[in-house]
Amino acid sequence: MGGHQASETKAIDPAIGRTVRVGWLLLAVSLPFGLTLEAFHAWKAPLYVGSETRREMWRLAHAHGTLLGVVCLVWSALAEAYVAAPLRSSVARQLRWGAVLMPVGFFSGGILNSESDPSLGVLLAPVGAALLISALLRMAFGRSRA
């Protein structure tokens, strides 16, 4: 009669679940932000076109937010198969924080900036970059399941 099969639902590692959520949130924020920047440019909005530094910082925020959202999703798809459980949680934490801090740093660097220099908020970007590099190196040289 019915071809219903009981499927076992495997519990998702919380670190992977949180990283998936961060990935989708980064995409949900970064992609519409990019469209907003395009609209600012098309309408020649003084807030946006009036400052080359702001334009650069906000473009970097959009690009890094989008790319790092995808990185979080790819990592989440591969982590359970390729990353040992003891390493997974701390690497995921570094990845998530780095993926958020970089675009937030670039975005905040374009707020209240001077004409030639970003505001101090840009200092979050290198902190995020350091966390990302650390996570990547730990993945490359850490104990893996593969």
The span from the CA of 110 to the CA of 45, in Å, is 15
* Residue 1 placed within a domain: no
pLDDT at 6 over 60: no
Give the number of domains in the chain. 1
pLDDT score of 8: 61
Residues 17-25 have a mean pLDDT of 98
* Residue 109 placed within a domain: yes
pLDDT tens-place string over residues 56-112: 999 999 999 999 999 999 999 999 998 888 899 999 999 999 999 999 999 999 999
* Residue 75 placed within a domain: yes
* Residue 19 placed within a domain: yes
pLDDT at 10 over 70: yes
* Residue 81 placed within a domain: yes
* Residue 125 placed within a domain: yes
* Residue 4 placed within a domain: no
* Residue 3 placed within a domain: no
pLDDT tens-place string over residues 49-59: 999 999 999 99
Find the domain containing 136 and state its range. 14-141
The answer, as to whether pTM is greater than 0.75, is yes
pLDDT tens-place string over residues 67-79: 999 999 999 999 9
pLDDT score of 62: 98
Cβ–Cβ < 8 Å for 138, 87: yes
